[in-house]
C-alpha cells in the first residue's frame, strides 16, 4: 500500500528535495497535499508531476492570475492552513513540514493533528514553540522526526539510549564562506558572497545564517528542546567538510560519531522510509582522514556569545531572537544594512530593557508568539532606520 504524504512548503529547498525523492519512488507514495506561499509556477509543475489534486497557496492574488490552469487540471486550491481539515479527513502516514520562518508554525501545529508522523524542517517552529509542539505530539500520538542533518544525526545516535547517559553533544559547523576571510574584509561583504556556501546548497536565508553562525545558535536551542538535555552539554566545533554532523560522548567514555555526505536527501529519505531504504554511497576516506575539527573564533563569529543567554526553559526570548534575526537578514538581502550590522543590531535588540521580561515568560499559545513577533519586526525596523 502506498504511503500517503503531505509536503508543506513544497517549493522551498527541503520541499523540492522531498518532491524529487518521491518522483523517483512514485510507486511507494501518494501525495495528498502540497503548499506554497506564492511560487505558483513551481507548485503547478509539482502537482502535475506527482499527480496532486489539493494545494494550499497563501498568495490569493498570484493564484487568481493563473486560476484557469489549475481548474483545467481539476486541481483544488485552498488559501490558508485552516483549510487543512477540509483536505485531510483521516490521518495520513507522513507530513514534511518545511515552510520557512515563523510562518510555518501554524501549519506545523495543524499537521500534527492529521499525521501519523511529522518531519519538521522548520527550525523556527521548534525554537519558538517546542512546548506547544510537544504537547500536540502527545495529544495526537504523532511521531516526530527532526529533519535538520545535525538533529537527525543526534536523534539517530540516541535511539534506545537513556538521556541521562549523555555527557556531551557536539554539533558541527562548516564555518560558512568566510571561515578563512580576514576580519578586515568582512565589513565589505556583499550578498552574493554570503550566499556562496562552500559545501551545502541551501536557501538564501539559511545560507546567510550559516555565514554568521546564527544557524548553530538556533540548532543548539532546537537540540536542547528536542532532547531535553542541559544546554551546557552542547558544544560547537568547526568542521569545514561537513562530513561529520554530530558527535555524542556518553558517561561511560564511549563516543559515537555520525557521518554522511553533504546531501539533505539522506535524512529526508531515512525519515520517510523509517531507515529502511538502501542508499548506495561509498565512505569518503579523504574526509574521514582529515576531519579538521576546531573551535570557532568568537571574534570572527560573535554570534557565539549569544549562547550565554540560553537556558533549559521554553521562553519568549527565542521568539525575539528568531524574529529579529529574520528581519535583519531580510534587510541585508535588500541592501538596507551591511553584513556586520546583522549581529550588531541583533545584540542591541535582544538587550533592550523592554524585552527582558520575556526571557522568563513561557509562550502560552500561537497568537502570543505571533503578536510578539509582529512587534519585534516593527522594533527592528525602527532601530535599523535610525
Mean predicted confidence (pLDDT) in 244-273: 93
**276 falls in which pLDDT band (50, 70, 90)?**
low
Using the structure block, give the residue that is written with the C-alpha cell 570572527.
300
**189 falls in which pLDDT band (50, 70, 90)?**
very high
pLDDT at 110 over 80: yes
pLDDT at 200 over 80: no
Q: Quick one: pLDDT at residue 307? A: 93
Per DSSP, the three-state class of 378 is helix
Q: What is the pLDDT of residues 283-296, one digit of tens each?
A: 888 888 888 899 99
Question: What is the set of domains in the chain, with CATH numbers?
Answer: 3-147 (3.40.50.720), 148-309 (no CATH), 315-386 (1.10.1740.10)
**196 falls in which pLDDT band (50, 70, 90)?**
confident
Q: 18 vs 13, 22, 102, 247, 268, CA distance in Å?
A: 9, 6, 21, 26, 7
> How much is the pTM?
0.91
Query: Cα–Cα distance between 315 and 321 in angstroms, integer?
Result: 11
Q: What is the pLDDT of residues 130-155, one digit of tens each?
A: 999 999 999 999 999 999 999 999 99
Q: Quick one: pLDDT at residue 191? A: 92
Amino acid at each position: 500500500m502506498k504511503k500517503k504524504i503531505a509536503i508543506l512548503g513544497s517549493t522551498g529547498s527541503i520541499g523540492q528535495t522531498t518532491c524529487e525523492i518521491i518522483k523517483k519512488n512514485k510507486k511507494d507514495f501518494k501525495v495528498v497535499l502540497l503548499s506554497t506561499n506564492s511560487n505558483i509556477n513551481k507548485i503547478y509543475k509539482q502537482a502535475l508531476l506527482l499527480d496532486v489534486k489539493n494545494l494550499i497557496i497563501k498568495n490569493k492574488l498570484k493564484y487568481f492570475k493563473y486560476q484557469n490552469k489549475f481548474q483545467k487540471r481539476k486541481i483544488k486550491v485552498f488559501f490558508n492552513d485552516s483549510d487543512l481539515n477540509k483536505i485531510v479527513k483521516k490521518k495520513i502516514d507522513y507530513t514534511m513540514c518545511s515552510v520557512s520562518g515563523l510562518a510555518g508554525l501554524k501549519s506545523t501545529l495543524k499537521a500534527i493533528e492529521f499525521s501519523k508522523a511529522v518531519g519538521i524542517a522548520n527550525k523556527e517552529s521548534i525554537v519558538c514553540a517546542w512546548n506547544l509542539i510537544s504537547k500536540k505530539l502527545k495529544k495526537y500520538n504523532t511521531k516526530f522526526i527532526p529533519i535538520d542533518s545535525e538533529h537527525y544525526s543526534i536523534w539517530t545516535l540516541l535511539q534506545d539510549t537513556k538521556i541521562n547517559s549523555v555527557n556531551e553533544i557536539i554539533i558541527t559547523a562548516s564555518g560558512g564562506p568566510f571561515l578563512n576571510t580576514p576580519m578586515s574584509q568582512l565589513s565589505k561583504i556583499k550578498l552574493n558572497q554570503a550566499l556562496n556556501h562552500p559545501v551545502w546548497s541551501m536557501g538564501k536565508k539559511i545560507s546567510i545564517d550559516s555565514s554568521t553562525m546564527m544557524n548553530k545558535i538556533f540548532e543548539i536551542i532546537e537540540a536542547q528542546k528536542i532532547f531535553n538535555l542541559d544546554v551546557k552539554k552542547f558544544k560547537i566545533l568547526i568542521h569545514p567538510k561537513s562530513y561529520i554532523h554530530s558527535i555524542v560522548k556518553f558517561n561511560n567514555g564511549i563516543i559515537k560519531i555520525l557521518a554522511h555526505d553533504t546531501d539533505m536527501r539522506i535524512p529526508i529519505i531515512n525519515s520517510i522510509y523509517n531507515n529502511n531504504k538502501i542508499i548506495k554511497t561509498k565512505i569518503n576516506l579523504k574526509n574521514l582522514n582529515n576531519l579538521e575539527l576546531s573551535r570557532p573564533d568568537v571574534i570572527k563569529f560573535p554570534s557565539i556569545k549569544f549562547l550565554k543567554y540560553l537556558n533549559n526553559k521554553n521562553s519568549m526570548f527565542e521568539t525575539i531572537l528568531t524574529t529579529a534575526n529574520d528581519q535583519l537578514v531580510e534587510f541585508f538581502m535588500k541592501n538596507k544594512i551591511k553584513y556586520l550590522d546583522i549581529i550588531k543590531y541583533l545584540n542591541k535588540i535582544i538587550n533592550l530593557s523592554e524585552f527582558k521580561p520575556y526571557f522568563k515568560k513561557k509562550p502560552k499559545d500561537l497568537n502570543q508568539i505571533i503578536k510578539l513577533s509582529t512587534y519585534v519586526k516593527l522594533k527592528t525596523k525602527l532601530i535599523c532606520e535610525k
